Amino acid sequence: MELKERFLKYVSYDTQSSEESATFPSTEKQKVLLGVLRDEMEALGMTEVTMDRYGYVMGTIPATPGCGNAPVIGFIAHVDTSPDMSGKDVRPRVIEEYDGGDIVLNGQLTMRVAEFPELAFFKGHTLIHTDGTTLLGADDKAGVAEIMSAAEYLMTHPEVEHGKIRIGFTPDEEVGRGVDHFDVAAFGADFAYTVDGGMEGELEYENFNAASARIDIQGRNVHPGYAKGKMINALDVACELQTLLPAEQRPQYTEGYEGFYHCVGVNGTVERAAVSYIVRDHDADRFEQKKVFLWSCVDLLKKKYGDGVLTLTLKDQYFNMRKMVEPHPQVIEKALEAMKQAGVKPLVRPIRGGTDGARLSFMGLPCPNLFTGGMNFHGKFEYCSLDTMRKARQVILNLAQLWAR
């Protein structure tokens, strides 16, 4: 199956995950595409193909003769799309040769180069973008398509020498639970790569330390005409909390290694409200300081309004994989060589986010992240370059061969 055809097929499946669900996976519809991938693996003749009760799909491309002693390498991608925007009824549009100008998504919405300057890099590429009503799903169905396309090539070209390769597809990465039940021992890889990055050439082995925070606020509702000295407006308290956090440490004002506090949700009434944050920093010490500062802000408001008004629930989500990957420099060296062979200029930089690979690295499977060619993830301006997707597939194929030498 051609790479474009495969990608367009995968984005037709609604696999949006849910932060509100307590099940795993968080939405049953993710299992539909995961089941399709299992069937495709079996149809290709891959071995050890499984799909467990959690939805994890794994399969093996057997080593070619003489390469059975090579390290076992894995390639992993997630099938779910972000809860931030609908992934239902995705209607992709294809530009066969992008001219470098603004892209009209629909009658009301245009993706402008002035606002998305990275578009200039993709002049002359075949681009696939949204119609402006949903996300595209390149995060991470571009990675899924690239891995499956590479797997098909290896299964149909036995002359290409490689060791045993394990393929894995996961649900619920977008809600931070992607490897909650991932069986690293059953996967059986010595090293792995998530294929979940963006810009062409990205190679990432540093990521944020991450925590989630929820502050539940119990207000006191009194008729507004007689509220003086009595009312506690829970929505006002939520707003006051936001003003206590440093404005310069919001995502829109940070870059590179700078961390942030990001308010991702506020809802409620005068009587009761809840506000949700994500807290991020690459540096472990600064990460701890951010959490302590958030606690101090909540404590300050407790002193003002009373102990029973605010309740903070703060949970660590994942940590910076760097210290788990750096002891294995060959994982990075081979990725750099694979890109060089594919004619790709490496962009080694920290992930301003996280991947399944971050947690897998702490579970004993060193797992840096490779580019996919997808851009503007999680929203209606999402797009991907088919040219870059083909290079990502070639990087996977090059890695398969390099690890066998």
Residue 99 annotated as binding site:
no
Q: Which of 80, 146, 172, 206 is catalytic?
A: 80
Which residues are CB-contacts of 320 (< 8 A; sequence separation ≥ 6)? 206, 207, 208, 209, 282, 284, 358
Q: Which of 14, 146, 173, 382 is catalytic?
A: 173
At residue 388's C-alpha, the angle toward residues 385 and 394, to 5°, is: 145
Residue 328 annotated as binding site:
no
Residue 236 annotated as binding site:
no
- Angstrom CA distances, 265 to 3, 292, 296, stand at 37, 21, 20
Residue 271 annotated as binding site:
no
Q: Are 126 and 30 in contact (CB under 8 A)?
A: no
Q: Which of 388, 327, 385 has its CA nearest to residue 127?
A: 385
Concatenated DSSP letters of 61-129: EPPPTT-TTSPPEEEEEE--B-TTS--SS---EEESS--SS-EEEETTEEE-TTT-GGGGGGTTS-EEE
Catalytic status, residue 97: no
Catalytic status, residue 173: yes
Residue 174 annotated as binding site:
yes
What distance in Å separates the CA atoms of residue 232 and residue 219, rounded to the nearest whole number?
A: 5
Residue list for the binding site: 78, 139, 174, 196, 378
Residue list for the binding site for Zn(2+): 78, 139, 174, 196, 378
**Residues labelled catalytic:** 80, 173
